[in-house]
């Protein structure tokens, strides 16, 4: 959990002041602003320059090699992809839905067209690969420069958003501390009509680019070797199932902490532009430079493990959504057990939510582990996703616990007594 470090400067004119108490406060935010991109560059270098192994710089040249110089080709690829995604996001029709309640009680409307946009994008990509108009290896040779361009774009966008939020004054929340507010953000929902920047970049750019790389990396292996390794098929196949599922249930994003509570600053901007697509495909990047033989029996077991995690993840989330729409709907064939709160609402005590307070996180972690295990144990690098994701979900569970305690008071304590496990039933 973050330490309690309050900002010492005053908030901007009329701004709603909030404490700078996440991620170590202003000092922690300043460190993370530089550390998070540095980690991403280091991991890219480990995969691209050091045979997929963790490494220690031995000279200034080693450090400088971590930061590839942008190229015109990489800039063209970045611009073309962003233009395509923005164009599709604006013109492709989709259902108009209302989001969850924001801290001020307001509900915003969103156009949900992510699945159609992703399908069109991947169809165009696969079509280009099949016809030879696009060469996967040529794009992936620019992965380092693309990372540099994405990072610079994140800095530029976060700077613009910081000014946007400060100018809105009392309409937004900020601490008044510049490093902290740059990292965490000063504006909650920057948008142009229905085009919500935070929602778009998390969905179409973060998840969409991850999906594109999950196609390009196996395609590059096929170009270079003439065949696809079983490990590559398992990793990218399982990841694409996860990504498609995200777009099928895109509306669930509207109830996430990212959208409802967290300002849109450098932390999220960099996550969507660089951290997600580049770091979440480290397994395939590792397999590209360090081919791993995966036995058929192991592949079958990993697919089963991934599907088990997927069932837990998706079914638990569906139970939550169905309960919100119809509190009387049976859960696992039986009437739901609930806890009535003083707010007049009910908390679910049945199904997955009677086993632990966040079994959906258990499913998420199970899937992540299966992707990593497919790469074998030749390096720590392919396990980065799981090693990063587990602490992230633990922190998110703690933050959610705090919000629920503030919302439900003693009723939340009673709920926790009835459902004592946080993520893993009978263990944690």
- DSSP per-residue letters across 120-164: HHHHHHHHHHHHTSS-HHHHHTTHHHHHHHHHHHHHHHHHHHHHH
**pLDDT tens per residue across span 59-69:** 999 999 999 99
The pLDDT of residue 229: 95
Written in H, E and C, the secondary structure of 292-346 is: CCCCHHHHHHHHHHHHHHHHHHHHHHHHHHHHHHCCCCCECCECCCEEECCCCCE
**pTM (2 d.p.):** 0.88
Which of 245-249, 316-320, 344-348 is most confident?
245-249
The radius of gyration of the chain's CA atoms, rounded to the nearest angstrom, is: 22
The pLDDT of residue 407: 85
**pLDDT tens per residue across span 127-148:** 999 999 999 999 999 999 999 9
Q: What is the mean pLDDT of residues 298-321?
A: 94
20 versus 408: which is more confidently predicted? 408
Q: How long is the chain?
A: 428
**pLDDT tens per residue across span 20-53:** 677 778 899 999 999 999 999 999 999 999 999 9
Percent pLDDT > 90 in the chain is 65
The pLDDT of residue 324: 83
Average pLDDT, the chain: 90
Q: What is the mean pLDDT of residues 385-408?
A: 87
Of the candidates 335, 333, 332, 347, the residue with the CA atom closest to the CA atom of residue 401: 347
pLDDT beyond 80 at 319: yes
The pLDDT of residue 288: 93
DSSP state of 61: H
pLDDT band for 170, please (50, 70, 90 cuts).
low
The pLDDT of residue 4: 28
- Residue 355 C-beta-side C-alpha neighbours within 13 Å: 17
pLDDT band for 105, please (50, 70, 90 cuts).
confident
**CA pair distance 26, 182, nearest whole angstrom:** 10
The pLDDT of residue 14: 47
pLDDT beyond 60 at 87: yes
Of the candidates 210, 209, 189, 208, the residue with the CA atom closest to the CA atom of residue 199: 189
pLDDT beyond 80 at 9: no
pLDDT band for 320, please (50, 70, 90 cuts).
confident
Specify the DSSP element, H or E, that contains 95. Answer: strand 95-98
Which of 101-105, 239-243, 346-350 is most confident?
239-243
- Residue 358 C-beta-side C-alpha neighbours within 13 Å: 18
**Do the beta carbons of residue 12 and residue 166 sit within 8 Å?**
yes
pLDDT beyond 90 at 12: no
**pLDDT tens per residue across span 234-289:** 999 999 999 999 999 999 899 887 888 889 999 999 999 999 999 999 999 999 99
Domain boundaries, the chain: 1-290, 294-428
pLDDT beyond 80 at 205: yes
Backbone angles phi, psi at 61, to 5 degrees: -60, -35
**pLDDT tens per residue across span 68-80:** 999 999 999 999 9
The pLDDT of residue 13: 47
């Amino acid at each position: 959990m973050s330490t309690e470090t309050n900002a010492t400067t005053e908030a901007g004119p009329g701004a709603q002041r909030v404490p700078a108490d996440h991620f170590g406060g202003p000092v922690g935010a300043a460190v993370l602003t530089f550390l998070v991109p540095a980690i991403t560059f280091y991991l890219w270098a480990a995969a691209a320059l050091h045979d997929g192994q963790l490494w220690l710089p031995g000279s200034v040249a080693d450090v400088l090699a971590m930061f590839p110089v942008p190229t015109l080709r990489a800039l063209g690829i970045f611009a073309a992809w962003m233009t395509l995604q923005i164009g599709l996001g604006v013109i492709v029709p989709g259902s108009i839905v209302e989001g969850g309640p924001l801290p001020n009680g307001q509900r915003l409307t969103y156009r949900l067209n992510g699945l159609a946009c992703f399908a069109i994008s991947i169809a165009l990509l696969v079509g280009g690969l099949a016809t030879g108009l696009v060469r996967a290896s040529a794009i992936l040779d620019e992965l380092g420069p693309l990372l540099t361009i994405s990072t610079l774009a994140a800095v530029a966008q976060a700077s613009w958003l910081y000014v946007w939020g400060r100018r809105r004054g009392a309409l937004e929340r900020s601490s008044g501390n510049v490093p902290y507010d740059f990292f965490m953000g000063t504006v909650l929902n920057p948008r142009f009509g229905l085009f919500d920047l935070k929602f778009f970049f998390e969905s179409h750019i973060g998840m969409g680019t991850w999906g594109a790389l999950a196609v390009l990396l196996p395609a590059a292996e096929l170009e270079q070797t003439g065949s696809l390794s079983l490990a590559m098929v398992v990793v990218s196949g399982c990841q694409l199932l996860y990504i498609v599922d995200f777009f099928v249930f895109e509306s669930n994003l509207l109830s996430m902490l990212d959208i409802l509570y967290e300002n849109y600053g450098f932390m999220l901007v960099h996550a969507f532009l660089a951290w997600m697509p580049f770091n979440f495909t480290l397994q395939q990047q590792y397999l590209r430079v360090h081919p791993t033989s995966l036995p058929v029996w192991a592949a079958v077991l990993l697919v089963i493990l991934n599907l088990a995690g997927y069932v837990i993840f998706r079914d638990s989330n569906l139970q939550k959504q169905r309960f919100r729409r119809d509190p009387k709907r049976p859960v696992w064939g039986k009437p739901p057990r609930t806890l009535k709160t003083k707010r007049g609402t009910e908390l679910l005590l049945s199904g997955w939510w009677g086993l632990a307070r966040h079994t959906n996180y258990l499913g998420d972690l199970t899937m992540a582990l299966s992707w990593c295990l497919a790469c074998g144990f030749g390096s720590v690098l392919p396990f980065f996703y799981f090693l990063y994701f587990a602490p992230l979900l633990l922190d998110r569970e703690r933050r959610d616990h705090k919000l629920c305690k503030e919302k439900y008071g003693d009723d939340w304590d009673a709920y926790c007594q009835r459902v004592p496990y946080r993520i893993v039933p009978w263990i944690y």
